[in-house]
Amino acid sequence: MDFKARSWLLGFAIAYLLLSTGQAQTGGLNRFNINSPQELKSFFKYSPDRIPFISAHRGGARKGYPENCIATFENTLRHTPAIMEVDPRYTKDSVIVLLHDATLDRTTNGKGKVADYTWAELQKLKLKDTEGNLTEYKIPTLDEALTWAKGKTILILDKKDVPIAVRVKKILEHKAEASAMVMAYNYEEARQSYRLSPDIMMEVFVPNQEKLKEFDKTGVPWENTVAFISHAKANDEALYGLLHQRGVMCMIGSSRIYDKEFVQGKTDVYEEIIKDGADIIEADLAIEAGAGIRNLLPKKSAKSKYFITAGTAKKTL
């Protein structure tokens, strides 16, 4: 890493420390002011004055804060507005918990398959952080996360072993249509979600113009969607424009390539993703990504009414 990159990272670390200390004192969270399914659709509808933001992959885990953990979600929100991608998974007794892996070994002090343990048995375990250190935190249930998220953020429910119909029904059960959405792995799942409830937002995979045209024929309104493009920048730059014409926000995942580039000293990597045409970055390094796009926030936006900054109940971006 060259001297310039080292200096930038040192400056970023100091700014991050000051920011985190100040916000920890107030206990404030960056929150989304979204109170109905229609407001959620409006929030996600693309407009030229849109405010780019972060999707915290597995909640934005880091040292001291495990993935798929409510305390981690709150830590992320102390520093940046973010929606939360989470991983629902069944226990032996059919309780839905948040855990990415099918096994316990990497993320907890347990061993073996999640599906071989009851919920009561899993409650005896503790979660590990990104460095493998044991924390005080326990495995949360999806019910707990859906209750917590209201008035704070939007949960994106990944699939793992929980069918899309079950995830949709959980959202409806909690009356969480304004604070949770589902990930549809294929367009039949998107149709299924829409049939179950036209109020449910979904993340769909649209990597190219062929898939865009295919989705056009599904009968699912684009207003119900966010488009995940890829874990790399779009090869077809026109794809962003075509999705934007349909009112769809575009998401790029940074966890596989760009988070690593940031750690290696490429300090403008997140800014470049947004400048290329994306609107949302799904990042492991959610706090760093949020800081990295801060200079791109518009001075005025009709979307600002949906953002409440940390430390105040009124101030918007």
Per-residue confidence (pLDDT) for residue 108, from 0 to 100: 99
Mean pLDDT of 51-62: 99
| 261 class by beta-carbon count within 10 Å (0-12 exposed, 13-18 middle, 19+ buried) | middle
Per-residue confidence (pLDDT) for residue 317, from 0 to 100: 65
Helix axes 209-216, 238-245, angle to 10 degrees: 20
Per-residue confidence (pLDDT) for residue 310, from 0 to 100: 86
Mean pLDDT of 287-316: 89
> 3 falls in which pLDDT band (50, 70, 90)?
very low
> 6 falls in which pLDDT band (50, 70, 90)?
very low
What's CA 78's distance to the chain center, in Å?
15
Per-residue confidence (pLDDT) for residue 235, from 0 to 100: 84
Per-residue confidence (pLDDT) for residue 43, from 0 to 100: 99
> 20 falls in which pLDDT band (50, 70, 90)?
very low
* Residues contacting residue 288 through CB under 8 Å, at least 6 positions apart: 12, 16, 259, 262, 270
Phi, psi of 271 (to 5 degrees): -60, -40
Q: Which two tokens stand for residue 49?
A: 């004055």
Does residue 14 register a pLDDT over 90? no
Per-residue confidence (pLDDT) for residue 254, from 0 to 100: 98
Q: How many CB atoms lie within 10 A of CB 45?
A: 15
Find out whether 98 and 86 touch, Cβ atoms under 8 Å: yes
Per-residue confidence (pLDDT) for residue 315, from 0 to 100: 53
Looking at the chain, the whole-number percentage of residues with pLDDT higher than 70 is 89
State the Cα torsion 197-140-253-225 to the nearest 10°: 10
Per-residue confidence (pLDDT) for residue 311, from 0 to 100: 66
Q: How far apart are CA 69 and CA 111, in angstroms?
A: 19
Per-residue confidence (pLDDT) for residue 316, from 0 to 100: 55
Q: Is the pTM of this model over 0.85?
A: yes
Delineate the domains of the chain, giving CATH numbers in brackets.
3-93+147-298 (3.20.20.190)
Q: Which pLDDT tens digit goes with each residue over 67-100? A: 999 999 999 999 999 999 999 999 999 999 999 9
